[in-house]
């Protein structure tokens, strides 16, 4: 067998590829990130805000872009595509065609001099053709890598031999018109496909009149909403006026077998809701209407988001899918005809703008790539995977993730991406670290005894800051502050080239402290700290002054006051940075084992994935058997028995020498922190582990008090599944009631799985007995994505579907179910039912609160565990070293639970794979000389980091034993409570010392900029 190669090729640099790349690179594998466009980022880079949190897409993405750019283990191959793949798992030769950019990336500084001189204008794909760019261009301001590219098709020199302006003006001699496409062979052990999707082009659906300038696709609308878009976030019509009424039309190019696109696109209901909300925030006068078939708000927090949009924000949701858009040829006005809710009538309404919620479609280039890789696709061009191996393609060693497999949103894409990384990592676990480069930093400058020499950059953030705050005035002011040696303005301080500028400035001006006045440290501090390190500065000699979130954005109408405030904010930061000390982390040995709590599919997958990478996994399951919920139902939605999935998995877990399984056991105590957790199990055994994964799943809600549950022949789906397997269903007419006990005040969330489950079971019933009559009563059918197939199949088999509303629920009594149908003029419709099956939601199991307390991790209002960041960290907790997976996070399907299980393992293993653990520099230390041993710190510390130890004090006169406080650096979290409590100021809360904070207070006070002298 050929040697294993500790490198992975990732095709597609969207959020999926980026996440896979970071996980693998952090785990010590070399990554080649191959992206066909000039910049990584994918569609997420084009989005404005993201649902359901309305985070700014670019703000959450750009730190990741920068992280990829500066990761020593990642090599980006932009403007490149895979031409061929040969070899086998562990050892592939991947031939990559690197398209000519005609700009030498090593020479171009993205100074943009060439842009001004290029005469050739081209529709800008980043802005979906709503604006123009030049033939030489940077795809978008935060592009990575940040170098120009020449669009050969439109360059006058390359097409006609004329012009040549860019070469003339480029001072760096970066232009090379003779550059040719070239092939490069890279050697890797595994390949991940993540080339994403293409938005559906609605042109063929002529009835929607996409050619009208005010009929837009949703992705064009995202660009309109975006501050970096064609109209700087001002939503406007083609004639420049502001629309007062906008309609979104859902399922354009989705759920339409007639055009060969039967699947649901899974994200468009939510993004339309988001777009409507954001647009209404821009303009409170705006009327936003969303025409839909079903509102598919199935993910975590989605239903609540939808309800908020509807009930609080006043977004109008109309359950009708207009079949076209009409244009008045005289006025050019747009209108749609729709069915009026709660009536049989239609209405015609005019709108200023119409947004087509277009679906996600596999891109042609993805299909081509899949063919090159030889992996199987489904009939629509999605990569074929199975429920139990959701990221595994038909070719060993080649994995897939993201929207290339099926339409999905960002969090599901990210989970997939970590999952695929886990799979690739497993193949190459033995090769970890063989091909990587240590992140190289220059030796750190010793600044002891130096006067502070402070550099300050004030960021425009494009126009985010500069449109409100007078940035040049702030720069001028900052220059007058004590110790400030150099201050300057920057359009985007966080762009890769700006980071290089910071490094240069530090060197050039011999700076020993640095302040960036820009945005929130919560997202950008690590980036700039790393930059400082790159310039030989200790990262703690850096300070962020937040003049965006805390100033420009919240004082948009008071530019003068905002400018004053910005000056003061920077002044306070300068005062602080002057007093900051270099801090050092400690390298600690730690445990390379992982703990997994919960032995369902998510937990078992996580344990297996950890074990595959050569680490020990402890799997703790409180029941006496592994398997979790999968033991409660009998078939999967693809028709196979659940045992076909669960039995081999249990077998694999039980036989894996790296996994210690504890059934009938719980975890009762935990202490310590990432790297060195100690736990006590209910059997008395003590275990040590470096990281933990919570995969405690969910239970089917017992719908007591709903729809006659408890009376004869009213059961839940899980009972039906058992009866189906036992062949004990004896009914002629079955009624299923969806959302039984869900999507209400007590459980305001959608349980995601029960619509699919109902379809699955209805199909089973029909296939067993075609004469059976089935009515499914629903509020929305949420068979999202590819599961729409099941809904289609159920209708093919003749299942009846009738809608009810939350305010007019069906009534179950004496063997009948009665509901009202507006099309039947609300005449009571009485179904004589032999069996009523309630689709009740998944709920969090008992005991989650205990686990939450043990690990100090949060749970949400619905008792599901709350991840660190809903979009980009779906399986992380804010607490280091603790992860979550599966239904513990929110209800989800088996494939999704498994994907998260792998994802959590990937995240955990990127820690376990390290040789040692680094502590944070931010923590508390005790000055023994001042400590009087009062022990108050031990009382307030939530982690028991300080302990009183006996020390022998030797003075000239006497020697005595006394007690002094000592703080364990591995445990201390740096909250500073002890320092605030200590009566003698013996405790220093590093990076937040009394001195530093006092200096900031003083700087607040002294408008003249007086800064306290450094001691």
Partner 1 sequence: MAEFEPRIVMFCCNWCSYAGADLAGVARLQYPTNTRVIRVMCSSRVQPTFILRALKEGADGVLVTGCHIGDCHYVDSNVHTRDRMEHVVDAMEHLGLEGRVRLEWISASEGPKFRETVTEFVGQIKALGPSPLRDTAE
Partner 2 sequence: MSELSFFLGCIAPNRYPGIEKATKIVMEELGVHLKELKGASCCPAPGVFRSFDKITWLALASRNVVLSEEMGVDLLTVCNGCFGSLVDANNQLKEDQDLRAEVNKILAEVGHEFKGTIRVRHIMEYLYDDVGVEKVKESIKYPVDLKIAVHYGCHLIKPSKERHLGSIENPTFFDELVEATGATSVMYKDKNACCGAGGGVRTSSLETALKLARAKIEHAQAAGVDCIVDACPFCHLQMDVGQTEIEKKFGDVFNMPIVHYSQLLGLGMGYTPQELGIDMNYVKNDEFIAKIEKIGGGN
Partner 3 sequence: MSDTDMKVIKTSDLDLAFREEIMKEHGAEKLSMCFNCTGCTAGCTMAEHEPNYNIRQLLRMANLGMREELLNHPYLWNCTTCYKCQERCPQGVHNVDILLKIRTMAVHSGIMLDKHRKVAQLMANTGHAVPINDDNKEKRKKLGMGELPETVHKYPDALEEVHKIVRITGFDKLTEAQS
- Binding stretches for partner 3 (CB under 8 A): 207, 251, 255-259, 293, 319-324, 336-339, 344-346, 348, 733, 773, 781, 791-792, 795-796, 798, 800-801, 803, 818, 821, 823-824, 827-832
Tokens of 434: 């063989």
Residue 859 and residue 868 in contact, taking contact as beta carbons nearer than 8 Å: no
Q: Which does 328 bind (CB under 5 to 8 A by kind): partner 3, ligand SF4, partner 2, none?
A: partner 2
Mapping DSSP onto H, E and C, the string for 953-989 reads: EECCCCEEEEEEEEECCCCCCCCCHHHHHCCCCCEEE
> Which partner, partner 3, ligand SF4, partner 1, none, binds residue 792 by CB below 5 to 8 Å per kind?
partner 3
Residue 344 interacts with, from partner 3, partner 1, ligand SF4, none (CB under 5-8 Å by kind) = partner 3
Structure tokens at 323: 């079949």
Nearer to partner 2, 333 or 389 (CB): 333
Q: In the bound complex, what is the minimum distance in angstroms from residue 344's beta carbon to partner 2?
A: 16
- What contacts 686, CB < 8 A, 6 or more positions away? 678, 679, 680
Q: How many residues bind ligand FAD (CB under 6 A)?
A: 81
- Minimum Å gap between C-beta 942 and partner 1 is 4
Joined together, the tokens standing for residue 872 give: 């980009």
Dihedral sign computed on CA atoms, order 360, 366, 367, 368: positive
Binding footprint of ligand SF4, residue count (CB under 6 A): 85
With CB under 5 to 8 Å by kind, the binding choice for 337 among partner 2, partner 1, partner 3, none is partner 3
DSSP letters, 282-348, are H-TT-EEEEE-SS----STTHHHHHHIIIIIS--EEE----S--EE-TTT--EEEEEEPTTSS-EEE
Contacted entry of partner 3, ligand SF4, partner 2, none for residue 330, CB cut-off 5 to 8 Å set by kind: partner 2
Q: Which three-class secondary structure string do you get for 767-785?
A: HHCCCCEEEEEECCCCCCH
Contact 660, 616 (CB under 8 A): yes
Length in residues, the chain: 1015
**What sections of 112-209 are H helices per DSSP?**
113-117, 156-160, 165-169
Asked if residue 330 binds partner 2 (CB under 8 A), the reply is yes
The least CB distance from residue 713 to ligand SF4, in Å, is 20
Q: Are 351 and 248 in contact (CB under 8 A)?
A: no
Among 86, 159, 207, 510, binds partner 2 (CB under 8 A): 207
- Residue with structure tokens 């207009």? 322
**Cα 127 from Cα 139, distance rounded (Å):** 10
Residues numbered 265-304 forming contacts with ligand FAD, rule: CB under 6 A: 267, 271, 274
Q: Which lies closer to partner 2 via its Cβ, residue 206 or residue 849?
A: 206
Residue 203 burial (C-beta neighbours within 10 Å; 0-12, 13-18, 19+)? exposed
**Binding track, positions 545-564, relative to ligand SF4; x by CB under 6 A:** ---x----------------
Q: Does 350 bind partner 2 (CB under 8 A)?
A: no
What is the nearest approach in angstroms of partner 3 to the Cβ of residue 780? 11
For residue 33, the Cα-to-chain-centroid distance in whole angstroms is: 19
* Cβ-contact 455, 514 below 8 angstroms: yes
Contact track, ligand FAD, 35-74, x by CB under 6 A: xxx----xxx--x--xx-----------------------
Q: Toward ligand SF4, which CB reaches closer, 652 or 804?
A: 804
Judged by CB under 8 A, which stretch of 83-91, 313-321, 328-336, 541-549 contacts partner 2? Answer: 328-336
Among 742, 810, 881, 901, contact with ligand SF4 (rule: CB under 6 A): 742
Q: Are 193 and 383 in contact (CB under 8 A)?
A: yes
> Could you say whether residue 459 binds ligand SF4 (CB under 6 A)?
yes
Return the residue of 404, 405, 715, 739 that touches ligand SF4, per CB under 6 A.
739
599 binds ligand FAD (CB under 6 A): yes
Q: What is the DSSP letter of 887?
A: G
d(CA 565, CA 478): 12
Contacted by 677, from partner 1, partner 2, ligand SF4, none: CB < 5 to 8 Å by type: none
Nearer to ligand FAD, 300 or 555 (CB): 300
The residue (of 359 and 539) whose beta carbon lies closer to ligand FAD is: 359
Count of residues in contact with partner 2, rule CB under 8 A: 7
Residue closer to ligand SF4, measured from CB, 752 or 907: 752
Torsion angle, CA of 215/219/223/226, rounded to 10 degrees?
120
207 or 437: CB nearest partner 2? 207
Residue 584 or 1006: the one with the smaller Cβ distance to partner 1 is 1006
Span from 321-329, 539-547, 966-974, 1002-1010 in contact with partner 2 (CB under 8 A): 321-329
Buried b (16+ CB within 10 A) or exposed e, 432-467: bebbbeeeeeeebbebeeeebbbbbbbbbbbebbbe
Orientation angle between helical segments 521-534 and 57-70, nearest 10 degrees: 20
- CB 619 to ligand FAD: min, Å: 9
**260 near partner 2, rule: CB under 8 A:** no
Among 35, 294, 564, 809, binds ligand SF4 (CB under 6 A): 294
Q: From the list partner 3, partner 2, ligand FAD, none, pick the one residue 329 interacts with, judged by a Cβ distance below 5 to 8 Å according to partner type.
A: partner 2
**If contact means CB under 5 to 8 A according to the sort of partner, which of partner 1, ligand FAD, partner 3, none does residue 942 touch?**
partner 1
Q: Using CB under 6 A, which of 68, 973, 993, 1000 touches ligand SF4?
A: 973
Closer CB to ligand FAD, residue 528 or residue 877?
A: 877
Element (H, E) at 911: helix 894-912
Q: Do residues 400 and 657 make contact, with C-beta atoms less than 8 angstroms apart? A: no
Does the footprint of ligand SF4 cover residue 972 (CB under 6 A)?
yes
Strands (E), 749-845: 773-778, 800-803, 811-813, 816-820, 828-832, 835-838, 842-843
Angle between helices 496-508 and 521-534 (to 10 degrees): 50
Find the shortest distance in angstroms from Cβ 340 to partner 2: 19
| β-sheet with 800-803: strand ranges across | 714-716, 835-838, 733-737, 773-778, 800-803
In the region spanning residues 602 to 621, those forming contacts with ligand FAD, defined by CB under 6 A, are 602-603, 620-621
Residue 14 binds to ligand FAD (criterion: CB under 6 A): yes
Report H helices in 480-517.
496-508
CA atoms lying within 13 Å on the CB side of residue 379: 7
| Residue 92: exposure state from Cβ atoms within 10 A (0-12, 13-18, ≥19) | buried
111-170 residues near ligand SF4, rule: CB under 6 A? 111-114, 117-120, 134-136, 148, 150, 155-157, 163-166, 169-170
Q: Are 11 and 82 in contact (CB under 8 A)?
A: yes
Q: List b or e across 60-88, with b for residues whose CB sees 16 or more CB atoms inside 10 angstroms.
A: bbbbbbbbbbbbebbbbbbbbbbeebebe
Binding site for partner 1 (CB under 8 A): 54-56, 59, 281, 520-522, 546, 548-551, 553-558, 561-562, 564-565, 568-569, 572, 856, 858, 878, 922, 940, 942-943, 973-977, 979-981, 989, 992, 994, 997-998, 1000-1002, 1004-1006
CB 962, min distance to partner 1, A: 25
- Shortest Cβ 363–ligand FAD spacing (Å): 6
User: At closest approach, how far in Å is the CB of 328 from partner 2?
Assistant: 5
Min dist CB 842 to ligand SF4, Å, is 9
Using CB under 8 A as the criterion, which residues of the chain lie in contact with partner 2 when the complex forms?
Answer: 206-207, 324, 326, 328-330
């Amino acid at each position: 067998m050929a040697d294993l190669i500790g490198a992975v090729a990732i095709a597609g640099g969207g959020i999926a590829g980026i996440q896979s790349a970071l996980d693998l690179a952090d785990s010590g594998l070399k990554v080649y990130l191959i992206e066909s466009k000039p910049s990584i980022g994918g569609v997420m880079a084009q989005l404005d805000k993201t649902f359901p949190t309305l985070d700014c897409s670019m703000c959450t993405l750009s730190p990741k872009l920068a992280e990829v750019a500066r990761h020593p283990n990642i090599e980006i191959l932009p403007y490149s595509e895979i031409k061929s793949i040969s070899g086998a798992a562990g050892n592939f030769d991947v031939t990559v065609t690197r398209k000519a950019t005609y700009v030498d990336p090593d020479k171009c500084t993205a100074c943009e001099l060439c842009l001004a001189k290029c005469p050739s204008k081209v529709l800008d794909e980043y802005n979906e053709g709503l604006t123009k760019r030049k033939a030489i261009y940077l795809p978008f301001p935060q592009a990575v890598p940040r170098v120009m590219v020449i669009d050969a098709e439109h360059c006058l020199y390359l097409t006609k031999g004329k012009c040549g302006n860019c070469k003339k003006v480029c001072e760096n001699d970066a232009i090379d018109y003779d550059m040719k496409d070239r092939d490069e062979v890279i050697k890797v052990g595994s390949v991940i496909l993540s080339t994403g999707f293409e938005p559906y082009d609605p042109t063929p659906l002529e009835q929607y009149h996409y050619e009208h300038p005010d009929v837009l696709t949703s992705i064009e609308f995202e660009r309109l909403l975006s501050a970096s878009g064609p109209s700087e976030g001002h939503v406007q019509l083609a004639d420049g006026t502001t629309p007062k009424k906008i309609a979104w039309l859902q399922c354009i190019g989705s759920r339409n077998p007639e055009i060969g696109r039967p699947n649901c696109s899974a994200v468009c209901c939510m993004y339309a809701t988001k777009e409507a909300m954001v647009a209404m925030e821009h303009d409170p006068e705006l009327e936003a209407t969303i025409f839909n078939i079903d509102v598919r708000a199935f993910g975590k927090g989605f239903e609540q988001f939808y309800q908020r949009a509807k009930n609080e924000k006043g977004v109008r949701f109309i359950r009708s899918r207009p079949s076209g858009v009409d244009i008045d040829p005289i006025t050019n006005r747009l209108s749609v005809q729709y069915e009026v809710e709660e009536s049989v009538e239609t209405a015609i309404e005019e709108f200023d703008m119409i947004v087509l919620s277009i679906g996600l479609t596999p891109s042609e280039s993805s299909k081509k790539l899949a063919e090159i890789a030889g992996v199987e696709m489904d009939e629509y061009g999605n990569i074929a995977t199975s429920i139990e191996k959701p990221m595994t393609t038909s070719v060993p060693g080649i994995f897939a993730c993201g929207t290339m497999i099926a339409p999905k949103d960002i969090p599901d894409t990210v989970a997939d991406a970590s999952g695929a990384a886990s799979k690739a990592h497993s193949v190459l676990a033995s090769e970890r670290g063989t091909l990587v480069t240590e992140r190289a930093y220059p030796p750190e400058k010793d600044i002891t005894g130096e006067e502070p020499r402070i550099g300050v950059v004030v960021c425009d953030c494009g126009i985010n800051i500069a449109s409100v705050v007078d940035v040049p005035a702030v720069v001028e002011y900052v220059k007058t502050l004590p110790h400030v040696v150099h201050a300057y303005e920057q359009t985007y301080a966080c762009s890769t080239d700006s980071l290089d500028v910071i490094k240069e400035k530090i060197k050039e001006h011999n700076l020993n402290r640095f302040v960036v006045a820009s945005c929130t440290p919560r997202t950008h501090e690590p980036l700039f700290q790393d930059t400082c390190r790159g310039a030989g500065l200790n990262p703690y000699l850096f300070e962020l002054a937040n003049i965006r979130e805390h100033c420009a954005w919240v004082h948009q109408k008071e530019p003068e006051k905002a400018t004053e405030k910005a000056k003061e904010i920077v002044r306070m930061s300068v005062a602080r940075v002057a007093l900051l000390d270099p801090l050092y982390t400690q390298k600690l040995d730690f445990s390379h084992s992982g703990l997994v709590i919960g032995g369902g599919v998510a937990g078992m997958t996580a344990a297996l994935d950890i074990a595959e990478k050569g680490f020990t996994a402890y799997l703790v399951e409180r029941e006496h058997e592994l398997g979790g919920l999968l033991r409660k139902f009998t078939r999967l939605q693809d028709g196979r028995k659940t045992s076909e999935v669960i039995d081999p998995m249990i077998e694999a877990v039980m036989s894996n020498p790296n996994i210690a399984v504890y059934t009938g056991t719980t975890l009762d105590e935990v202490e310590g922190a990432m790297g060195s957790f100690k736990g006590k199990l209910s059997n008395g055994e003590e275990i040590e582990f470096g990281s933990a994964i919570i995969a405690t799943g969910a239970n089917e809600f017992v719908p007591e008090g709903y729809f006659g549950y408890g009376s004869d022949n009213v059961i839940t789906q899980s009972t039906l599944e058992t009866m189906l397997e036992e062949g004990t269903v004896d009914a002629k007419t079955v009624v299923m009631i969806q959302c039984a006990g869900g999507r209400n005040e007590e459980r305001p969330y959608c349980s995601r799985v029960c619509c699919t489950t109902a379809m699955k079971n209805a199909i089973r019933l029909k296939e067993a007995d075609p004469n059976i009559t089935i009515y499914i009563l629903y509020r929305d059918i949420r068979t999202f994505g590819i599961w729409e197939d099941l809904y289609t199949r159920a209708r093919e088999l003749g299942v009846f579907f009738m809608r009810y509303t939350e305010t007019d629920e069906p009534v179950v009594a004496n063997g009948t179910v009665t509901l009202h149908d507006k099309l039947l003029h609300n005449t009571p419709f009485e179904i004589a039912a032999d069996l009523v099956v309630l689709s009740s939601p998944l709920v969090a199991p008992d005991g989650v609160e205990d686990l939450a307390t043990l690990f100090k991790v949060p749970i949400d209002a619905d008792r599901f565990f709350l991840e660190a960041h809903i979009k980009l960290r779906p399986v992380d907790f804010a607490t280091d070293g603790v992860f979550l997976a599966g239904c513990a996070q929110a209800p989800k399907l088996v494939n999704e639970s498994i994907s998260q299980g792998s994802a959590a393992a990937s995240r955990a293993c990127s820690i376990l794979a390290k040789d040692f653990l680094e502590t944070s520099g931010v923590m508390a230390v005790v000055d023994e000389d001042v400590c009087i041993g009062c022990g108050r710190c031990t009382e307030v510390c939530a982690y028991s980091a300080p302990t009183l130890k006996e020390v022998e004090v030797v003075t000239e006169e006497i020697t005595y034993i006394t007690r002094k406080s000592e703080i364990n650096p591995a445990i201390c979290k740096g909250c500073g409570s002890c320092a605030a409590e200590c009566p003698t100021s013996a405790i220093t809360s590093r990076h937040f010392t009394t001195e530093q904070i006092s200096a900031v207070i003083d700087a607040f006070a002294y408008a003249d900029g007086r800064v306290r002298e450094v001691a």
